[in-house]
Chains A and B, each alone.
Chain A
Amino acid sequence: MELIHAVRGFVTSLLFLLLWSKCEGRESELNYVTCGSLVKLLNTRHNVRLHSHDVKYGSGSGQQSVTGVENADDANSYWQIRGRPNRPCQRGAAIKCGQAIRITHMKTGRNLHTHHFSSPLSNNQEVSAFGENGEGDDLDLWTVQCEGVHWERDEAVRFKHVGTDVFLSVTGEQYGHPIRGQREVHGMSSSNQHNWWRTMEGVFIQPSQELIRHDEL
């Protein structure tokens, strides 16, 4: 009996130590997703990265398509995290859970966007890339849903659309030619295992030190 208690105590304290040390590591700013960062977003259920390119949908809105791709070395999978229009977020500031952001496709300058059109393969809500030079309209906003205070880099989060309330999702349907093998990315109204995303490769901007120095003593 004594032995079991002792072992139990040991295991609990070991687990506690592990958890505590893990928490320590997460406190540094290096682990947050910050304003202005360039990221690749991986759908954790289907292992594909959010992607866009100069290919338009053949149905629905006819806007630029957004898909999920398997390979990890395509620059067309980079998206920049930006603040709301007219309320830019401070460069390097960690994104808070619940904050509304724009997700701008690096190569084409179009924003992740969704609207009341049907997606071509699964009849969910079509997700497109819309706008010019990072400026689109008010259907470009997504709130980051996560646990805790700030969006952490290795955390799985959900993206809920501001306006239509759908979640950015992938359910596995694949396109044919000319984008063979790429998965459909769409908006779904329910939150489930298909709408978890996490950041992978990217350029994560750290906050800079305050600049104003007061020369008078």
Chain B
Amino acid sequence: MNLRNVCCLLLCVITAVLAGRDFYKILGVSKSASVRDIKKAYRKLALQLHPDRNPDDPKAQDKFADLGAAYEVLSDEEKRKQYDAYGEDGLKEGHHSSHNDIFSSFFGDFGFMFGGNRQQQDRNIPRGNDIILDLEVTLEEVYSGNFVEVVRNKPVAKEAPGKRKCNCRQEMRTTQLGPGRFQMTQETVCDECPNVKLVNEERTLEVEIEQGVRDEMEYPFIGEGEPHIDGEPGDLRFRIKVLKHPVFERRGDDLYTNVTISLVEALVGFEMDIIHLDGHKVHIVRDKITKPGARMWKKGEGLPNFDNINIRGSLIITFDVEFPQTQLDEQQKDGIRSLLKQGSVQKVYNGLQGY
């Protein structure tokens, strides 16, 4: 009897523990993940797990719903605290935003049309204008990624009482003036449609600046453009514009930078740190003579590649030498002559043509 009770109790405890979903596991993030990491994970998985993308998977709908629930809780500071302390069951019965709202804040109202481009059959439906916003991003954001929150206030077509004229077109009408006499006139003919009025609505959108993003790349939000009274709204596209950086220059996935060292350092060697775009230090040690114009390649210290962020470019450092500012007196000149033991060179040549 006792054993059975214990087993039952154990079973109950186990099911209670397993009853709540592991939101961190669903999103694939660690317990200490930042909000930015969570948004990034959600956006990546939402594109993969959307039911329209997985028509053959019977569990697609459930997986997608779990993803939405996980994001809703972990992206909210209050809810995340409650979840961390008490699990899913410990969450208060608050207002749950629909997954559609969450999904469309990342991709737009009609974001389930995959591929970013509208399907071909929509060609007959009139579309509202597209909006293209140039989004300036820093090289730091290209390196580490970031999210930009944006409030979109847009006119939305809403039903209104009464009717209106739509699909107006010119048609030729033939009227009979008398026996055998006809007249052709051009007439404007319209259909009758339900009346529509434009009401301004507001919602928050999340644009992701993905790691390694390149200049001119676009992030579309389907349906967030201008409305069309007789058709569908256009799209809102964010066009990335990468700003110049005072320290680093981008060439593809590689970063270029310049360092000025003193003549002494160039001759005897030096040790230094370069602070990278995310704050980490790149350590440089030199114990040989460094010529002006010398280059140092640091593999893996460039930008992450947009298509595979595990691949990184290199950091190429070009050194230039700063000569001493004060002139030398005779004693110092003699000292240098004897120290360096370099004979006079004085070679004359055409340097501009490669001689």
Contacts and interface: CB of A to CB of B under 8 A. Distances in A.
B279 A208 contact: no
B141 A201 contact: no
Contacts of A78: 131
A202 B129 contact: no
Given A73-B155, A201-B154, A211 B131 contact: no
Contacts of A213: 278-279
Nearest to A214: B279
Contacts of B149: 205-206, 208
Contacts of A15: none
A106 B279 contact: no
Interface stretch (B68-76, B104-112, B228-236, B337-345): B228-236
Interface residues of B, number: 40
B136 A203 contact: no
B144 interface: yes
Contacts of A11: none
Contacts of A203: 131, 133, 150-153, 205, 236
Contact of B136 (A72, A91, A215): A91
B200 A200 contact: yes
Contact of A201 (B132, B137, B155, B205): B155
Contacts of B281: 216
A152 to B, nearest CB: 13
A200 B227 CA distance: 15
A211 B140 contact: yes
A91 to B, nearest CB: 5
A202 B153 contact: yes
A30 interface: yes
A88 B136 CA distance: 10
* Interface SS of A by simple majority: loop
Contacts of B144: 211
A106 B133 CA distance: 7
Nearest to B233: A73
Contacts of A88: 136, 243
A129 interface: no
Interface string A79-109: 0100000001001100000000000001000
B147 interface: yes
A213 B298 CA distance: 21
Contacts of A80: 133-134
Contacts of A136: none
Contacts of B243: 88
Interface string B100-139: 0000000000000000000000000000111111111110
B318 interface: no
Contacts of B132: 106
B225 interface: yes
A78 B153 CA distance: 12
A75 B129 contact: yes
Interface of A: 30, 36, 38, 72-76, 78, 80, 88, 91-92, 106, 134, 200-206, 208-209, 211-216
7 contacts: A36-B135, A73-B155, A206-B148, A206-B151, A209-B146, A213-B279, A215-B278
Given A201-B154, A211-B138, 6 more contacts: A73-B226, A75-B226, A205-B135, A206-B148, A206-B150, A208-B148
